[in-house]
Amino acid sequence: MRNSRATLDRLLDEMIETPDRMATLAETIEQVFCETRAVMVLDMSGFSRTTQRHGIAAFLLMVHQMKRLAMPEIEDKGGLLVKAEADNLYCLFDTTDEAVRAARAIVRQLKAANLILPEDRRLYASIGIGYGAVLNIDDEDLFGDEMNLACKLGEDIAARSEILLTEAARATLTLKTVETRPEQLSISGLALNYHMVL
C-alpha cells in the first residue's frame, strides 16, 4: 500500500464507513505511515512586530533569508524538510543527535547573519525537538505525540535562539558535547517536562 495522502484519506473513509474494522484499519495506517524519527520544529520570532512595522513583504523576505541559512544545515545533518508553513519549518531526522546538530548550526548561522543585519531585520528562531513514532504522510505532513510536543516547545515555549528537547528526545541524545538542563512548565494543570540545550 502506497504512502500517500490519497491512501490515508481512503483508510480514514473506511474507518467512518465500517467502524467495526476501526482497529484493523488503524493498524494498517500505522504499518504504512509510522516511522520512529526525530522531529525538529523551527519557529521564527517577531512575525507580528515585523509585519506591523514593515509590512508582510518584509517578513516574507526574512522567512526566505532564514530558509536559505537553515536548509544547508538541515541537509548537511541528514535532515529532510517535510513542510514549511508561514514562519515554521518541520523537519525529520533519523536521530536526535542529528536534529540537535542541525538546530545548533542554524542558531549559529542566524547569529552570524545578525551581525550585519539592521536591528529590526535580525533573524531569530526558537526550536523544539522530539523523538518517537510519527505518521509521515509521503514526506509532506507529520502527525503524532512527539510532533505535537516539538511544536509546543518550538512555537510556544522556547525563547529566541533556544533549543528545547522532549523527554523522549533527551533520552536518545548521545552527543557528549551537548549539555542540557531539565525544565518543567505547567500548562492547563498538566506538568510538561522538557530539556533546554545549553
Tens digit of pLDDT for each residue in 91-132? 999 999 999 999 999 999 999 999 999 888 899 999 999 999
The CATH code of the domain that includes 121 is 3.30.70.1230
Q: Quick check: is 136 in a domain?
A: yes
Q: Quick check: is 132 in a domain?
A: yes
C-alpha dihedral over 86, 84, 66, 78, to 10 degrees?
160
Nearest to 99 by CA among 69, 83, 115, 77: 77
Number of separate domains in the chain: 1
Q: Quick check: is 15 in a domain?
A: no
Q: Quick check: is 22 in a domain?
A: no
Looking at residue 47, what is its pLDDT? 66
- Provide the domain limits for residue 154: 34-197
- Band the pLDDT of 134: cuts 50, 70, 90: very high
Q: Quick check: is 57 in a domain?
A: yes
Q: Quick check: is 20 in a domain?
A: no
Q: Quick check: is 25 in a domain?
A: no
Contact 161, 126 (CB under 8 A): yes
This prediction has a pTM of: 0.94
Q: Quick check: is 9 in a domain?
A: no
In the chain, the amino acid numbered 113 is: A
